[in-house]
Amino acid sequence: MRKPFIAGNWKMNTDRRGAVGLATGLAQELRDIETVDIAVCPPFVYLDAVAGALNSSNIALGAQDVYFEPNGAFTGEISCAMLKDVGCTYAIVGHSERRHKIGETDELINKKISAAISSGLLPILCVGELLEQRQADKTEAVVTTQIKAGLAGLHSDKVLAVTVAYEPVWAIGTGVTATAEQAQEVHAMIRGLLADMYDQSVAGQIRIQYGGSAKPANTAELMACGDVDGLLVGGASLKVDDFAAMIKTVA
């Protein structure tokens, strides 16, 4: 049985005060939730402050990215050890905004996934097709390539550390959500792919989140799909009431 996992991606939003306030409000609102794994991913510079606000709560801390090298001359980058040092459990890797706006490649994403797992971080590997790729019937091909490349070289004992987030790019931050049928179709395809790459047992244990304009109003419908194990939430994770309502719906 896969425990639902809901994570909030705050992107490049909040300031120190807002980040601490959001974390404090969520910790208070969600203190009784035991049946859902919860994480928030603030901007790097507020991780430490948010870690303090989440102290001894049931909400884990995640980063929005990580670099694969352990240390050295990599100006602007943040290592796995640094993230662990400030209390991170998770790291988002390969978010579509990093793939398409910053230019991250599958090869780089694979290095980040491997480094995160080796250091004990739990990576959330984001995959998903652009609108034109969906319209050209390329969703399966695109997502398959991203997953095979992202997980290249990882054996089954390591891959169990990964959460996959299926995030159709056309649904991220647009207010357009994939229908439950569209989400389930791709999630089931991803699980089948993981079974081919590893085995049924591994595929049955890996959690697959949906992301793309998830909000309180569509949470129940998305989470009712057999292969949707959680949500990666952007905009709606910036409001205590909305994010808490989604988690309570799932719980």
Residues that bind ligand PEP (CB under 6 A): 9, 11, 167, 172-173, 211-214, 232-236
* Catalytic residue (one of 95, 97, 104, 129): 95
**Nearer to ligand PEP among residue 135 and residue 174 (C-beta):** 174
CB contact at 8 A, 152 and 158: no
As a whole number of angstroms, the distance between CA 198 and CA 192 comes to 10
The nearest distance, CB 95 to ligand PEP, in angstroms, is 6
- Smallest gap from Cβ 195 to ligand PEP, in A, equals 25
Q: Would residue 167 show up in a list of annotated catalytic residues for this protein?
A: yes
In angstroms, rounded to a whole number, what is the distance separating the alpha carbons of residues 216 and 241?
Answer: 9
Shortest approach of ligand PEP to residue 120 CB, angstroms?
Answer: 23
User: 47-54 vs 16-29: helix axis angle to the nearest 10?
Assistant: 30
Range list of H helices, the chain: 16-29, 47-54, 80-85, 96-97, 106-119, 131-135, 139-150, 156-159, 180-197, 200-205, 216-223, 240-250
Residue 173 or 204 having the CB closest to ligand PEP: 173
Toward ligand PEP, which CB reaches closer, 124 or 198?
Answer: 124
Nearer to ligand PEP, 172 or 198 (CB): 172
Q: How far is the CB of 180 from ligand PEP (least distance, A)?
A: 16
CA-based nearest residue to 118, from 162, 78, 158 = 158
Based on the residue annotation, tell me whether 95 is a catalytic residue of this protein: yes
Which residue numbers are catalytic? Answer: 95, 167
